[in-house]
Amino acid sequence: MQPQDTAIPNLIPDMESAVRAALAEDVGSGDITAQLIPVDRDASARVITREDCVVCGRAWVDEVFRQLDPELQLTWHCEDGDRVAADSVLFELQGNARAILTGERTALNFLQTLSGTATTAAEFAARAAGTSIKILDTRKTIPGLRSAQKYAVLCGGCHNHRIGLYDAFLIKENHIAAAGGIDRAIAQARSIKPDALVEVEVETIDELKQALASGADVIMLDEFTDKDTQTALSLAKGRAKIEISGSVDGERLQQLASLDVDYISSGSLTKHLRAIDLSLRIDL
């Protein structure tokens, strides 16, 4: 068993509800500024990126304008996962001017955030290029955008860890203490959900041995030295995958690659992103 590498299940229903909530938050009882424009005025518009990026979020943008006005026409010039250069036109719109301007901010919020996530993931993926290491995300996501950011991580070339608290076990120090030990925690996990991945975080070689003896699928090493990491990898070979968590720069990643670590997980993929600078230009 291993962390998930596939697209997010049930993405579309989650996307629709996320967009509905975002529009309700922004539009409220109505866009009073858009009412300055004649109700039947049509316009065309284009969205431009002001910087190089990896695009992600097309479906969310489409859904914003679909919910506002199904008659609006969008023409995309890129796909999710495409690398685009600064000043590129990402998509064009044609239709009711009020609907375009009402949806502008919400659509761009989704697109700039998810493209920022995908761009950050692409930077991490580039660091791991030429190694066997898989870069994993974490649950450190923007509230309400879990599945969206997980999808963006995939678009950037990295991989998904567990989606939430329901699809895989991650047994950490407090779980171990409360459950009465590593062996008891793993045994209980197997009885609760036999087909779920079981991962255990360990702080010592002795705890690693306990996790291996109890049948953990993945073992996360907490603050291990390179020497202890090498020992852990030797002990775990053919028995469990090894994951390193925390801040890992390019130089450190190369060191871990030489040790043949399986996974590196980083919350930076989703929580340290910088939104991409986008701009909408309208022509009446």
- The verdict on whether 271 is a catalytic residue reads no
Count Cβ atoms below 10 Å from residue 173 Cβ, excluding itself.
12
Active site residue 201: yes
Q: Are 96 and 224 in contact (CB under 8 A)?
A: no
Is 140 catalytic? The answer is yes
Of 203, 222, 228, 260, which one is the catalytic site residue?
222
**Residue 42 in contact with residue 95, Cβ under 8 Å?**
yes
Active-site pick, 66, 83, 105, 190: 105
Q: Which of 199, 201, 207, 243 is catalytic?
A: 201
DSSP string of the chain, one letter each residue: -----SPPTTHHHHHHHHHHHHHHHHHTT--TTGGGS-TT-EEEEEEEESS-EE---HHHHHHHHHHH-TT-EEEESS-TT-EE-TT-EEEEEEEEHHHHHHHHHHHHHHHHHHHHHHHHHHHHHHHHTTSSPEEE--S---TT-HHHHHHHHHHTT-B---SSSSSEEEE-HHHHHHHTSHHHHHHHHHHH-TTSEEEEEESSHHHHHHHHHTT-SEEEESS--HHHHHHHHHHHTTT-EEEEES---HHHHHHHHHTT--EEE-THHHHS-----EEEEEE-
Catalytic residue among 83, 139, 146, 172: 172
CA 38 centroid distance within chain: 40
User: Active-site residues: which are they?
Assistant: 105, 140, 172, 201, 222
